[in-house]
Amino acid sequence: MGLQRSILSKIHIAKQQLGLDDDTYRDLLGRVCGVRSAKDLTSKQASRVLQEFERLGFQPVIAKGNKGRPHNFNSSAMPEMITKIGALLADMQLPWSYADGMARQMFGIQRCAWVRKPKQLEAIIAALHVEQEKRGLLASVEELSRQLGYERPELVAGLEELPQGWERQRPILRSLVETLTSAVAARGTC
């Protein structure tokens, strides 16, 4: 059985926070534990990797007192899921009040910390993954547009007027990333 997803998430957040490129990250895993992928780590090895990340300057969000973190965090019946929610929030630099709003909107429960059903926590995690994907796709669209010298992606030749709210629609964002990537590649071959 592999590592829990929450531990793998924490390792990947540390990698991102420290700004490690893939080769440096894999070299660190090899140096500390003799593996090239976090999925090959044992729990003990993962702990050593996290200690090394902390030595290098990684600041775990939970240890920093993440603003609005549930007070009953350690006594929660499902700490892995709460940890995962915390990691996703930290990755997107969102406060716990964001997860509270999701719990309120999705289930009528005022605080994420008060959610006790695993299926509900899984739904919040899934919604956070969707938000993370939207943000990543939008960042890619913005970067590709910049590479092409455009302020807005709809200015790229061949794109029609984008509908209102396109920035929050995954199918449109995916299509834009694909179209803009092709335009960047075509420009590179000219």
CB 77 within 8 A of CB 121: no
Radius of gyration over alpha carbons of the chain, in Å? 20
pLDDT of residue 63: 39
Residues of the chain predicted below pLDDT 70: 1-4, 61-78, 154-160, 189-190
pTM: 0.58
Tell me the domain boundaries of the chain: 1-60, 132-189
How far is Cα 14 from Cα 8, in angstroms, rounded to an integer? 10
- How far apart, in whole angstroms, are the C-alpha atoms of residue 181 and residue 54? 36
**pLDDT of amino acid 50:** 87
Give the C-alpha separation, 74 to 39, whole Å. Answer: 25
Give dist(CA 86, CA 83) in Å, integer. Answer: 5
pLDDT at position 73, please? 53
Instruction: Tell me what pLDDT residue 125 has.
Output: 95
Q: How far apart are CA 10 and CA 50, in angstroms?
A: 8
Do the Cβ atoms of 113 and 71 come closer than 8 Å?
yes
Report the SS3 class of residue 64: coil
What pLDDT is stored for residue 46 in this prediction? 86
Tokens of 103: 């719990």
